Amino acid sequence: MSTDAGSLTADDLDFLGRPLHGFLSVAAGPVPAQPRPVWFEATDEGTVQLFTGPDTLKVRRLRRDPRASIVVAAPVGERERWVSVAGAVTVEPDGAHDLASRLAARYWDLDDPTRAADLAEILAQDQVRLVLRPDTVSRYRY
C-alpha cells in the first residue's frame, strides 16, 4: 500500500475513470461507518464528485461534519487494486444534473428506453453535487 498526501496520480485518474462503484463513508455517521455504493467522477483537478438529493442523510451528515472517504476497488477477475480518497466535502448547488447525465452515460446504456427514463427521473429531481477534495490518497495494487 502507498499513501500520497492529497493528490491523485495520472494512474489513479485512469483507474477511477472506469465505470466502477465507489463506497462512500461520511464522518458524522454511525460507528462503525456504513459505506454506501455510489457513482462518482474523478476530475482532472484531482477532486472526486458525485450527486445526490439535497435532503439526503449523507448531505445532512456532511453539513455537520464535512469529512468523508471513498474507496474504489477493481472488480472480481482482475488483479487486486483499490484507491481510497479521504478529505473534506463541499455541497455545491450547481452542476449536479450535468454530472448525473455524464455518469448515467458512463454506467448505463442510455439507448435502453428504461435507462433513459431512469435518467429523466433523476434529472426531474433536485440534486446537489458533492465535491471531495483529497487530504489523503491511499492505494494498493497487487
Higher pLDDT, 33 or 46: 46
Strand partners of residue 67: 88
Class of domain 2-141: mainly beta
Write out pLDDT tens, residues 67-82.
999 999 999 999 999 9
Contact criterion met (CB below 8 Å) for 74 and 87: no
- 23-32: pLDDT as tens digits: 999 997 777 8
Specify the pLDDT at position 1: 63
Cell of 77: 477477475
Give the pTM. Answer: 0.92
d(CA 113, CA 56): 27
Residue 29's pLDDT is: 73
Q: Are 74 and 80 in contact (CB under 8 A)?
A: yes
Domains of the chain by residue range: 2-141
